[in-house]
């Protein structure tokens, strides 16, 4: 355990941020699984709705600094291509 006051505060702050980031990442992974499940089922409407939801979740995660902007764009783009391929 740290002895210096600023180091103690940093430990607490890091723990809070790690917990927040973990919750946000979990929400993103859940949304991705919902899109993947809809794609696997071949349900285009459900997949589009899940993709819309994923875009919002990923946008919030990016705004909070959990994911980088290009990472977000790449994941959303790949999901959109997969959703658009349904029923072709």
The answer to the question of residue 88 being in a domain is: yes
The answer to the question of residue 55 being in a domain is: yes
Distance CA 38, CA 10 (A): 42
Predicted TM-score (pTM) of the model is 0.86
The answer to the question of residue 67 being in a domain is: yes
The answer to the question of residue 53 being in a domain is: yes
The answer to the question of residue 49 being in a domain is: yes
The answer to the question of residue 11 being in a domain is: no
The answer to the question of residue 8 being in a domain is: no
Distance CA 51, CA 8 (A): 41
The answer to the question of residue 52 being in a domain is: yes
- The reported pLDDT for the residue numbered 1 is 76
Distance CA 8, CA 3 (A): 7
Total count of residues recorded for the chain = 88
Distance CA 1, CA 4 (A): 9
Domains: count for the chain: 1
Distance CA 39, CA 47 (A): 6
Host domain of residue 60: 45-88
Model confidence pLDDT, tens digit, residues 33-74: 999 999 999 999 999 999 999 999 999 999 999 999 999 999
């Amino acid at each position: 355990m740290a002895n210096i006051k600023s180091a103690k505060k940093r430990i607490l702050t890091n723990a809070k941020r790690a917990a927040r980031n973990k919750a946000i990442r979990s929400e993103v992974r859940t949304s991705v699984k919902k899109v993947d499940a809809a794609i696997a089922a071949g349900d285009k409407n459900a997949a589009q709705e899940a993709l819309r939801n994923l875009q919002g979740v990923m946008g919030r995660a990016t705004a909070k600094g959990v994911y980088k902007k290009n990472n977000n764009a790449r994941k959303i783009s790949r999901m959109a291509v997969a959703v658009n391929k349904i029923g072709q």
